Structure 1
């Protein structure tokens, strides 16, 4: 999942880069971190995100419902005016969603070929076939009741 990260630039060489992940900041959680050097920002913020999301899982939250509004939305929010730069960091949360299970499914070969072609595109963001299918399944399950065809509702 991509997370927007606000970066507060250090005022001098004795200060660190301040980092905030607004999508994970609410009444119960605050996802902030710091990095001494610019090349440490992604590593430090990934660690902070994984710690907060792990805590969310411990508390029984459904992390598949996490949403990030995007850097433009957060940059326009006065609460984050101290952040002079915004970036996106991709963090793989799949290990926190539960144990992986192998399944056996059947798909038409033409559909499987289309999936594989999509996964191979560098800009797709998919790691493999399984990741593609998991993302597609989550998309379909976002609002189960309103997306379900009429003949499948109670």
Structure 2
């Protein structure tokens, strides 16, 4: 490493001016200690202001994220409640179909037993009752639907 006398001269000059005159070499120029202290304080305040602004910005972003997380939480709770309601509905539907299947099996067994033991006269009565029941249900359904579809009368 070569000896650089200009570098040494520069260091000595800066040191002497700092000690004797109370000046500091900043940015290529000698300035007094008061100016330097003001510069340092201004720089520090500027950095603190920037830090404060960044902190406020972070707080705004955190508040925004908190509201979004809260919204997602409420949506997930609503989904959970809806899934539980649908599971309950499916369970009730399954139980209803099981009961219907059991009743249908009992009716089929009873009808099979009745047909095996009864004569042709009973079958004729049973057929008439079933036909009458179907037509009665049809007549009731048509009349109820036609009443609901009629517009209300204005008086």
TM over 0.5: no
Structure index of larger Rg: 2
More strand by share: 1
Q: What is the TM-score when the length of structure 2 is the normalising length?
A: 0.18
Q: What is the TM-score when the length of structure 1 is the normalising length?
A: 0.18
Larger RCO of the pair (alpha carbons < 8 Å, separation 6+)? 1
